[in-house]
């Protein structure tokens, strides 16, 4: 869900900013980031600078699962450590999937377009690459991974 919401925000931010070039694009995205940060700090629903409370953590939920599966004390490891271990394994699996996805994109036509835009977006546009489309795609992919 977080990746989809972040992708939606990337579309909203990306539509006006992807037409910019160079430092102007970087400044605009940093500016949008600061605006979003200040908005969320001042909303009552986010509890301001204190942040949200009452959200269960993944290791805590996995610790509860370890108690339910009765693996507390298995191999000399208590349930809290099992919960943390399961969280690390899940996060490592997600990391492997993300790295494989990025390598796959990097070795594709999209990756070559990204490299051309990185080198010189004006020259990439002259070669027939739709620079705005690929910048928007990079925004959305990056936001989904970050979300």
pTM summary value: 0.74
Contact 142, 7 (CB under 8 A): no
What are the tokens at 94? 């997600």
Burial of residue 23 (CB within 10 Å: 0-12, 13-18, 19+) is exposed
Spell out the per-residue pLDDT of the chain, length 147, in tens. Answer: 888 999 998 888 888 888 887 788 889 888 988 988 888 888 888 887 777 777 777 777 777 777 777 776 677 777 777 778 888 888 899 999 999 999 999 999 999 999 998 888 889 889 999 888 998 999 899 999 998
Task: Give which of 135, 137, 105 is closest to 18, Cα–Cα.
Answer: 135
Angle formed by the axes of helices 23-41 and 2-17, nearest 10°: 130
Per domain, the residue ranges of the chain are: 2-55+108-146
């Amino acid at each position: 869900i977080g990746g989809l919401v972040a992708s939606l925000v990337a579309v909203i931010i990306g539509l006006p900013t992807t037409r910019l070039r160079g430092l102007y694009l970087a400044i605009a995205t940093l500016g949008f980031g600061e605006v979003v940060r200040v908005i969320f700090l001042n909303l009552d629903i986010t509890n301001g600078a204190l942040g949200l409370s009452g959200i269960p953590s993944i290791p805590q939920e996995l610790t509860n699962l370890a108690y339910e599966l009765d693996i507390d004390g298995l191999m000399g490891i208590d349930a809290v450590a099992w919960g943390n271990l399961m969280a690390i394994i899940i996060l490592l699996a997600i990391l492997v999937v993300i790295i494989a996805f990025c390598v796959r994109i990097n070795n594709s036509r999209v990756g070559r377009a990204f490299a051309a835009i990185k080198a010189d977006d004006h020259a990439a546009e002259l070669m027939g690459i739709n620079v705005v489309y690929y910048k928007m795609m990079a925004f959305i992919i990056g936001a989904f991974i970050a979300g």
